[in-house]
Amino acid sequence: MEIKLFCPGTIANLSCGFDVMGTCLDTIGDEMIIRKSNRRGIRITKIDGADLPLEAERNVAGVAGLALLEKLEIDFGFEIEIYKKIKAGSGIGSSSASAAGAVFGINALAGNPFTRKELVQFAMQGEVLASGSAHADNVAPALLGGFTLVRAYNPLDIVRIESPADLFATVIHPQIELKTSEMRAVLQPMVSLKSAIAQWGNVGGLVAGLYTSDYALIGRSLHDEIVEPLRGKFIPHFEDLKKSALENGALGCGISGSGPSVFALSQGIETAQKVAAAMRNIFEYTDIAFEIHVSRINSEGVKIM
């Protein structure tokens, strides 16, 4: 009758993989309680930790859940409680955590008629509300865990990639808000052939490095020719953060999602923690509040608590 979930944060784009690559975090996430109701439809009864709409049609969890309900042949509805730990506009998948958790929990209480991969298409509808774009680079890893590659959107074709065992993420979240829709607006509709070729090579290198646990190749591939140059200037001290992370052993460093969070991937927990300390040093002497997280890659995705 009721299910309690951990709805994980995610890192999207991963430098070179704009709108097609993402990974799932294990220590950053929301919590959600979903219970069956005799009344059809979806009612969001509580949101703790954020000022978000309770109306299902105006909430990403509600919109994603309603998209799934259209395909379910059931005579009951659902109530949802959301406990937000990921701030909206953080760049670590706040909207996707809500959307993924809602469809996972509703599907589970309905007897699991859809696979995790099939649930991605419904969770994407929540992303449309949040950013105006039906992208899957956050909701796919949130549901599937590990790393994901969205090979195509029409039809949706998602490849899950297991994370190398010793790969860790460090994420710093400056407490400013950059709306995804606004950060998409700064992008250029056309890119040069030279930049496109470099980006294709990096995406291929990153996928190959993940499959073969070639940490050096992963590091060489975490480079963005197209998006980072346009978005980096909106993130306070971005270049300093990146330089410091690399100097302290990170494989690579870039913008998490649309920012303002900045991520680094490292081989080993010790290096990831060293990178976290270096990032902290950059922000300690500013007037900008911030949070830092170190996380193993979450291989499961949304979890039943």
- Three-state SS annotation for the chain: CEEEEEEEEEEECCCCCCCCEEEEEEEEEEEEEEEEECCCCEEEEEEECCCCCCCHHHCHHHHHHHHHHCCCCCCCEEEEEEECCCCCCCCCCHHHHHHHHHHHHHHHHCCCCCCHHHHHHHHHHHHHHHHCCCCCCCHHHHHHCCEEEEEEECCEEEEEECCCCCEEEEEEEECCCCCHHHHHHCCCCCCCHHHHHHHHHHHHHHHHHHHHCCHHHHHHHCCCCCCHHHHHHHCCCHHHHHHHHHHCCCCEEEECCCCCCEEEEEECHHHHHHHHHHHHHHHCCCCCCEEEEEEEECCCCCEEC
pTM, two decimals, is 0.94
* pLDDT confidence of residue 129: 83
* pLDDT confidence of residue 152: 94
pLDDT in tens, 288-299: 999 999 999 999
Percent of the chain scored above 90 by pLDDT?
Answer: 84
pLDDT in tens, 254-298: 999 888 999 999 999 999 999 999 999 999 988 899 999 999 999
Which residues are annotated as catalytic? 127, 180
pLDDT in tens, 218-228: 999 999 999 99
pLDDT in tens, 49-100: 999 999 999 999 999 999 999 999 899 999 999 999 998 888 899 999 999 9
Tell me which of 119 and 135 has the higher pLDDT. Answer: 119
Q: What number is the average pLDDT over the span 166-182?
A: 86
* pLDDT confidence of residue 247: 97
Q: What number is the average pLDDT over the span 204-208?
A: 98
Res. 9: pLDDT tops 90? yes
* pLDDT confidence of residue 96: 95
* pLDDT confidence of residue 181: 67
